[in-house]
Amino acid sequence: MHIDVILAAPIVFVSLMATASMVLDALKTKENGKTIFLFSIYVLMATFVLSALTFSPNSHFGLVALLSKLGLASAPETLPSGEMLTVFNGMVSVGGYGCFFDMIFTLGGIMTILAARPFLESEKLEHSEFYTLILFAVAGMMLISHATNMLTLFIGIEVMSVTFYILSGYTRTNEKSVESSLKYFLLGAFATGFLVYGIALIYGATGSMDYATIASATHGDIRFPTLLLIGIGLMIVGLSFKTALFPFHQWAPDVYSGAPTVVTAFMSTAGKAAALAAFMPIIQVSLPAAIAYDGSNKIQMMLAVISALTMLIGNISALVQKDVKRMLAFSSVAHAGYLLMGLVAANPEGRSGIMFYSASYLFMQIGSFIILSVLERSGQTNHSLESFNGLSKKYPILAALMSIFMFSLAGIPPFAGFFGKYYLFTAAIHANFTWLTIVAVVSSVISVYFYIGLIVNMYFKESQEQEHESQPGLAAISLVLSTAGIIILGLLPSAVLSIAQASFGNH
Amino acid sequence: MGLLLTTLFLPLIGAAGVMFIGKHHTKAIERFSLILSIATFIVSVILFLQFDSSNPGFQFVMDIPWIASIDAGFRIGADGMTMLLIVLTTFIMPIAILSSFDTIHKRQKEYYIMVLLLQFGMTGVFLALDTFLFYVFWELILIPMYFIIGIWGGKDKIYAALKFFLYTLVGSLLMLVAIVYLGLAYAAVHDGMFTMDLLKLREFAPTLDFETQRWLFLAFALSFCIKVPVFPLHTWLPDAHVQAPTPGSVILAGVLLKMGTYGLIRFNMEMFPQAMFHYADMLALLAVIGIIYGALVAMVQTDIKKLVAYSSVSHLGFVVLGIASMTVEGIQGAIIQMVNHGLSTGMLFLCVGMMYERRHTREISEYGGITKVMPKFAVLFTIAMLASVGLPGLNGFVGEYLTLFGSFQSKFLSTTWYSILSASGVIFAAVYLLWMFQRVMFGTNDNPHNQHLKDLSKREYAMLIPMVIFIVWIGVYPKTFMQFSENSTKALVGKLEILKFGTSAYQISK
């Protein structure tokens, strides 16, 4: 087998299988939903394993070594150590960084699909396309995190975005869902324009779309420095839209609250992680190494301001929401602000901080949205804060899990959210951005008010209703996964953190 | 070493254990929690007896790696001050749990889980020798206390719980920034070796320049002063106390507030001495304002519990004053006053709770002449009240006397007026407590609701008698307890005096 295919196995596999799922759908006529559901779960699990196996391509435990033992492939002769290993003519990176995010995306996909099945069944909407779209979205995201060339990046972003446009309008008889889809599509297309324009200008200034070449160009003499700066600025605008950063965050609350809850769960977590996975190398490339640690750097300063405003605006807007789904949507904007702190810091702690926080954020945010969707199915269709009154009596387990998610989102130890925030704070202080950390602290305090406010409604306010049995179905597995993830990442962050740090050997 | 771990983790194991008892077996849950907390107390007493009080350093130290990349470890250990506070915690908890039997009538399972978690967190705060671990425990306490006030509290519980949570969090997040900054400052001079090890940071922090020390001092002090609480950051306390159920108030007054004063000594004074010298006067001034203000506000309260809550603000002022004096007498007085306040105010809250359970009101005007119907209760209530007033022979006197004495002769404070003004707080305490006592207990019992109140039950005796024993013990022979922290305090003051004046009467002879 060709070594490039083996090294890029996770992406290749998931893309092929996503296509295969459509073929399978055409071949089978009965019970398509169930078949494709099982198929996509297995595919994502296999992808997760493949990502883990290709994480360190040089190691003896990797996929390459495994296959060469079986005589199916020969190990590449000289793998440059410490440098980024790329395949397919330098278009796609291998292992490390990309694979870390692959695991986040696949886990997100698995949890979403598990939670989506009971929802789709009860809505009588179980078309096999839903699962196929999730597979494609994951494929797109993986392409983003593995990209070493702006073209690859662009294709990845488009694949992901297009599936998101469709998924957010999935309940097509629901006006809100359709509206959110259209809004997302129009604004998303506009943002893509910025992205492409930025790529074009960067190409004009440096003569390349390859990250490494651009990086070396920015370090040396640049022929058209203004052009490059504008190009980078436009790219940041485009990516800020995808990440929902201030002032390009306006779409997020509408889209997130309009889309089906399970889709929101996926978009606001894995989608955000993907956007950051794209952001990180771009910033690394565009921040010339000489001034990377200098707080007066223009790009760094601009990002710091964006980060501060995103946190504040996100949290303050969430504060006044009466609807829990909308509140979580705004809080997801705020979390993008925290994540951006890692980019601002532009140091190793910042990068591994982003990776760690993306993982913790995945668990806590997906978990809370899944609880909303379980409640939806139990007949609690509106998500107003009042409807959560006395939830601890009605559904004690759901309320307890929701509290864990809220405490984690608020950043209270010993949950994962706390350690993630802590690590990002460290990164920012280390990079002399103490003021940004203080803004983050202030906005964290603001956020506590509404996260804890939800707990007030669930536990301290009484309602007349009796205890019910909740029917989470398969969503229970997702909830167990996310709770376990939050507690394990919170108590023993070392394991994930060291993986995150190790992944920079290749990038 | 095993004993220290047992003291720390037994409550956590208990909380996990309660989870497995069916929620309708409330008797079993109550008994299990009580037995567990008594067992923890016994273990901590054995530990207390094993403690070598002649050694000023940390004992029973453990260091287990936890998060390698930020050098956070599971590092715990105890010195004299810690030891006293640990035993105070393990002593107060069984009493608080016992008092819960009468006061908590709903969702008992969740309640006892929260109480035991709270004990785990509080013990952890006092034992932690790692800034990260300290912070985790510090924040961990918020969750159970928030639920205890919010679910089992009084009429305005939601407001009080939220206020408690937000106030504490504002302070502690800035403390987190300071903790990170301190670790990075350490890394800057130690080849990039970031650390959270308190034992290393204690050696390092005093060498920082004044400007840095000052900012770090302020960040830590804000967090601790909110917890104590020091005037003007005290406004959460009366709300929390009045709304919390009786055992919640007992724990809050008995142990939780001591985390603030403990932090002021352990972090602010030991780690940022230069800043401490600079801010000593300010701290003393706030303490004096707190003492007088708390007493004056207590005087006009019509609600007994609120009165006791404000008296807390006043009493803790003495602790802060003792700390600010930076003399051996002052600090020793502050430490013993922490224990005293836990005992006497805890006991006052218990007494108020007992009256509330009988009459369901805390308005002073609703009572009068209670002595006639509850003579036995009256005796114990008197002891608690007099201990709080600071009558010689009972514990309160020892602490207040020492802190006043220490601040009077302090070389770090600019004027003796602090002590002179604070002394008036002792008089005010006598005024508001005796006046309250007179209105509630004496006079004619003319309220028909008060004619047939039952006197103390056996269970209530079981709560109050142990407290009386220690109140008298500390009042008559405080040395038993004070010797534990004596050497570590002398070493600390010696260090401070050498840093400021170059010489010290407490120079450590090796």
Residue A441: which of B139, B174, B181 has the nearest Cβ?
A: B174
Contact B166 A501 (CB under 8 A): no
Lowest-confidence segment of A81-85, A230-234, B58-62, B490-494 by average pLDDT: A81-85
Residues of chain A in contact with residue B243, where contact means CB-CB under 8 angstroms, are none
Lowest-confidence segment of A122-131, B174-183, B416-425 by average pLDDT: A122-131
Mean pLDDT, residues A94-117: 89
CA–CA gap between residue B80 and residue B48 (Å, rounded): 9
Contact A494 B68 (CB under 8 A): yes
Of B272, B175, B226, nearest to A438 (Cα)?
B175
**What CA–CA distances, in Å, run from B227 to A193, B166, B262, B316?**
53, 12, 10, 11
- For B112, the 3-state DSSP assignment is helix
Question: Is pLDDT at A82 greater than 60 in this prediction?
Answer: no
**B63-78 pLDDT, tens digit each:** 888 877 778 888 888 8
Mean pLDDT, residues A187-213: 88
Residues of chain B in contact with residue A407, where contact means CB-CB under 8 angstroms, are 143
* Interacting residues of A53 by C-beta distance below 8 A, sequence separation 6+: A9, A61, A62, A63, A66
Identify the pLDDT of residue B125. Answer: 93
Residues of chain A in contact with residue B68, where contact means CB-CB under 8 angstroms, are 494, 498
Of B331, B286, B299, B292, nearest to B315 (Cα)?
B292
Looking at every residue in chain B, the average pLDDT score rounds to 87
CA–CA gap between residue B250 and residue A318 (Å, rounded): 36
Q: Going along B178-310, which residue ranges are E strands?
A: none
Percent of chain A with pLDDT over 70: 88
Question: Is pLDDT at A295 greater than 50 in this prediction?
Answer: no
* Gap from A459 CA to chain B (nearest CA, Å): 7
Contact B67 A493 (CB under 8 A): yes
Of A319, A294, A293, A281, nearest to A442 (Cα)?
A319
Mean pLDDT, residues B482-509: 80
* Residue length of chain A: 507
CA–CA gap between residue B74 and residue B197 (Å, rounded): 9
Residues of chain A in contact with residue B174, where contact means CB-CB under 8 angstroms, are 438, 441
Confidence of residue B41 (pLDDT cuts 50, 70, 90): very high
Question: Is pLDDT at A307 greater than 90 in this prediction?
Answer: yes
Identify the pLDDT of residue B509. Answer: 47
Identify the pLDDT of residue A292. Answer: 41
Confidence of residue B1 (pLDDT cuts 50, 70, 90): low
Identify the pLDDT of residue B40. Answer: 92
**B451-490 pLDDT, tens digit each:** 778 888 888 888 889 999 999 998 888 888 888 888 888 8
CA–CA gap between residue B13 and residue B37 (Å, rounded): 11
First-residue to last-residue Cα distance in chain A: 25
CA–CA gap between residue B363 and residue B368 (Å, rounded): 11
CA–CA gap between residue A258 and residue A358 (Å, rounded): 23
Q: Which residue has the higher pLDDT, B412 or A133?
A: A133
Q: Are B371 and B453 in contact (CB under 8 A)?
A: no
**B221-251 pLDDT, tens digit each:** 999 999 888 888 888 888 888 888 889 999 9
Residues of chain A in contact with residue B143, where contact means CB-CB under 8 angstroms, are 407, 412
Identify the pLDDT of residue A506. Answer: 41
CA–CA gap between residue A307 and residue A340 (Å, rounded): 6
Query: Phi then psi for A149, rounded to 5 degrees?
Result: -140, 140
Q: Name beta bridge partners: B303.
A: B363
Q: Which residue from B minimizes the CA distance to A427?
A: B180
Contact B143 A407 (CB under 8 A): yes
Number of Cβ pairs < 8 A linking chain A and chain B:
78
Contact B70 A449 (CB under 8 A): no
Identify the pLDDT of residue A289. Answer: 42
Looking at every residue in chain A, the average pLDDT score rounds to 84
Identify the pLDDT of residue A362. Answer: 93
Q: At what angle do helices A96-123 and A475-491 cross, to 10 degrees?
A: 150
**A334-379 pLDDT, tens digit each:** 999 999 999 888 888 888 899 999 999 999 999 999 998 888 887 7
Q: Which residues from A are below 8 Å from B when comparing CB atoms?
A: 407, 412-414, 418-419, 422-423, 425-426, 429-430, 434, 437-438, 441, 444-445, 448-449, 452-453, 456, 459-461, 492-494, 497-498, 501
| DSSP symbol at A169 | T
Residues of chain B in contact with residue A441, where contact means CB-CB under 8 angstroms, are 173-174, 176-177
Identify the pLDDT of residue A214. Answer: 81
Lowest-confidence segment of A91-105, A221-235, B117-131, B300-314 by average pLDDT: A221-235
Helix (H) or strand (E) holding A86: strand A86-87
Identify the pLDDT of residue B507. Answer: 59
Identify the pLDDT of residue A61. Answer: 61
Identify the pLDDT of residue A59. Answer: 62
Q: Which residue from B minimizes the CA distance to A451?
A: B162
User: What does the angle CA B227 – CA B232 – CA B235 come to, to the nearest 5 degrees?
Assistant: 65
Q: Which residue from A minimizes the CA distance to B170?
A: A445
Lowest-confidence segment of A77-81, A225-229, A232-236, A303-307 by average pLDDT: A77-81
Percent of chain B with pLDDT over 70: 99
**What CA–CA distances, in Å, run from B257 to A295, B250, B310, B346, B492?**
40, 11, 13, 12, 23
Tokens of B339: 């224990």
Contact B150 A430 (CB under 8 A): no
